[in-house]
Each structure stands twice: as structure tokens, then as C-alpha cells.
Copies of this chain bind each other. A is one copy, B any other.
Amino acid sequence: MLLNPKGFAVIGASSEKEKVGHIVFKNLLESKVKAYPVNPNTSKVLRQKCYGSVIELKNKVSHAVIAVPAKIVPQVVEECGAAGVKTVIVISAGFSEVGNNKLEEEVKEIVNNHDMRLLGPNVLGVIVPGVFNASFFEGEIKSGGVSFISQSGALGVGVLDSLVNSEWGLRSFISIGNAADINITDALKESLSDKKTSCVIVYAESLQKGKAFMEACSESDKPVFILKAGTSSAGKRAASTHTGSLAGSDEIYSAAFNQCGARRVGSLKSLINAGMIYDQQGFLGEKALIITNAGGPGILVTDALEKAGIKVPKLPSKLVKLLNKKLRGVAWSGNNPVDVVGDARADRYLKVFKAVSKYSFYDEVIVLLTPQAMTEPLKTAKGLVRFNKRVKKPLIACFIGGPSIKEAVSFLEEKGVMVFQELSDLTSVFRFLV
């Protein structure tokens, strides 16, 4: 429907750099899926032969991205039907979101008549990083396992932009917009059945086909993390202006999500972080080992883990003995969290990594570091990369700080270690990962 296109027509492709139709075609030209510009008023776009109508591309494209003025969308969609297009992605705005319901109904009817599917209108588009970018978002995102469905294109842009230059990737991004046909539930189903999707993160203002949404969540092994906006009365009013649909009672949503196993998060950041941690590390088991050079952060993480139902078990006495020997003369905590204390250089972390590697009393490891006088962030990071390979369990690091830990954090990210710079990023998501 959306994730496996066999060729795109970009209707409204343009040579004017600022136009949405130009950006979409440029993005698709750099994609692995063939794309053809369609515009009766120009002969070439970005040196590619431009077609006067999508009908000239009959059976050559499965998908059409439409970026033309709203009033000519029906005509263009009609032509898509005649050309054998399966799915139209209508980026154009000016439909139900501005009260123009009639025009939207008209488009929907044409789509139905031709047995096509419609994403939009009023969407940012669809992106499968590394494969195609059928949207007017211009940045480049790495490929990953998280599929992101956003009812709000504008919110989607904010998230996508924050992922540019990051090692975190997405399997797909789908902007839902007015949802005249394909809605969140449809996109969710396609994402969940997509083999390369490990989990789905959803930003929703309202949910059509609520029962189908719940069924999709229940039936899938893959976790669905959802941020549901419009929890307050004023928020609902704003949501109704924004999407034209009425947001239901918040308690009903919460109960429904609980019942079907959808994981409702409380903030945009938790939505992203929970998805990314799951994709890279999977769910967290019931026992965590914490290694830190800072007592305070160790306690805050312990609190958050226990609140999420994850234990921070005492260390086996044999391991305590081993660590007492390895860390002779060090006033380490003697327990879990393993606090190697503030004056620890990298070697102390490395000794602990080595010692705990032989034990299996824990299901995941949290490694914390703050940059104190003797701390060696980069050297510690290098040891952590090796430990991460060896330990074969979920491992999440948090190097807390700014300039002093920047290089180490970049190194960890490059080497595929899940690392945060703010403790709150971790402590706020544990409960969604059990």
C-alpha cells in the first residue's frame, strides 16, 4: 500500500526550487525507486523528461505523489485511476482541514471508483530511509527498525529534522494528514506486517476504526508506542480544529490502549526514545546491573527502574569478593549500583566490565558516567564498546554532561552503543520497555 512502491509519478513536479513539487521530485530522484515528473507546463525537471499527464506513464508507476493546487486534485486523481496507479499520496492542502469537505469527498469517491488507495490529503508524505523519500522533507535519515506514523506532518518534520546527523534511524515515516482514506490504523497494520519494522511509534490526535487499531496491536508481537494528544478539553478543541475530527474521552483511550497492549507514552521524547531503545536493545528484563562513577545518578536510575518493576538486585557475594580484589584500595559501593566512585579512571570501569561479564544474575546493564576530575570519557567509551559486544544483553549508557563527554558520546553512537546525554532520557522510558 505505502511501503513497497513500484515507481512514482510526481504530479506537480516543478523546476522552481521552492515548490513542494520540486522538493518531492528531487527527493525521489535520489531514491532507489524510479520516479517520473509530471507537469504539462514544462518539458524537463532536474534534467529528466517531464510528462504532460500521468496517463503517459500507464502501468509504469504504482504510486503517484500529488502536489498541485487543491481544485485540480480531482482531475489529476481521475487520471491516476486511468493510468493504473494503485496509491495516490495527496500532499496538497486545502481540503477538510479548511472546511472544504466537499472537495475531499469528491477525491475520495474517485479513488474508490478506481479501487485505489489515498494517503492524505494534506500530508508530508512517506519516507523509507535508504529506499525512497516521497515527501517534501529534505534531510537525510538513517535506516533503522522503527516505523513512525504521525497524524501531524508538522510534528513529523520536527522529529525527522532532529534525527538528521544522528545515528538513530527509521524503517519508515508515514504522515497521515486528513486521513480521507488511509488512516492511522491502516498505516499501523501495514507497518506491523512489514518485515523490516521492529516496532511502531504513533503520534495520534484521534483514532478512527478504534476497534481495528486495538486488534492490530493485540495480534502483533511487535510493540506499539503511542503518544495520544488531546487529553485536555482545550487540547481536544485544538485537535478538532487541526484534524477536523473529534477526539474521544481520554480515559477511554487509556483503557483501550491498556487492553490491547499499546504502550501509551507521555511525551514526544519518550515516544522516540522508547522506540529507539526497543529497536536497538529489545525489551528490558527484570534485573538490571548499574555501573557508575556517580552515586546520585545511580540512585535516580535505581528509583526509575524499580518504579518500572525492574529490580536492581544485590551482587552475588563471589562477585563482591572479586571486585574487592580487582578494585583494591578503592572505596567502591560494594553493591549494585556498582559505584566505582568519582576519581575512577577508565581502568576501573574496564575491570568491572570484565568481572561482571562472567556473571548472569542480570538481564541488562546501565552504564553511567559524569565527567569528574580523573574521568576518562573516551577511554571508558572504548572499553564500553568492547563490553557491549561481549555482554550480549541490552546495554544502555548515559554519559551526563556537555563538552567534556561530547567526543565519547559520538564515539559510542558510531559504534552502535545506545547512549544518552541526559539522565531523564533514560529514567522516563524504562516503564514503557518492560
Is A157 part of the binding interface, using a Cβ–Cβ cutoff of 8 Å?
A: yes
Contacts of A18 on B, CB cut-off 8 Å?
Answer: 373-374
What residues on B are CB-neighbors of A241 within 8 Å?
A: 295, 333-335, 339
A312 CA / B235 CA spacing, docked (Å): 9
- A229: which of B158, B163, B269, B299 is its contact (CB, 8 Å)? B299
- Which residues does chain B contribute within 8 Å of A305, judged by CB atoms? 232, 234
Contact residues in B for A238 (Cβ distance below 8 Å)? 295, 298-299, 302, 312, 333, 335, 337, 339
User: Contact flags (1/0) for A146-158 with B, using CB distance below 8 Å?
Assistant: 0000111111011
Q: In chain A, residues 102-155, which have Cβ atoms closer than 8 Å to a Cβ of chain B? A: 136, 138-139, 150-155
Residues of B within 8 Å of A136, CB to CB, are 373
Q: Is the CB of A150 within 8 A of B296?
A: yes
Residues A269 and B302 in contact, CB atoms below 8 Å apart: no
Q: Tell me if A402 and B234 are in contact (CB < 8 A).
A: no
Decide if A401 is an interface residue (CB 8 Å cutoff).
Answer: yes
Q: Are A296 and B151 in contact (CB under 8 A)?
A: yes
Is A93 close to B, CB under 8 A?
A: yes
So how many copies of this chain end up in the complex? 2
Pairs A–B under 8 Å by Cβ, sample size 11? A93-B342, A139-B404, A155-B296, A157-B401, A158-B401, A161-B402, A232-B303, A234-B302, A238-B333, A267-B427, A268-B424
Whether A243 touches B98, Cβ cut-off 8 Å, given contacts A371-B157, A423-B268, is no
- List, in ascending order, chain B residues with CB within 8 A of A311's CB: 234
* Assembly CA distance A164 to B402 (angstroms): 7
Q: What 5 A-B pairs have minimum CB-CB distances, sorted nearest first?
A: A152-B296, A154-B294, A158-B400, A232-B306, A242-B295
One of B235, B270, B294 near A299 (C-beta < 8 A): B235
In A299-323, the 8 Å CB interface with B consists of 299-300, 302-303, 305-307, 311-312
Q: Which residues of B contact A341 (CB under 8 A)?
A: 93
Q: What residues of chain B lie closer than 8 Å to A150, measured between beta carbons?
A: 296
Within the complex, which residue of B153, B267, B302, B424 is in contact with A235, where a contact is CB–CB below 8 Å? B302
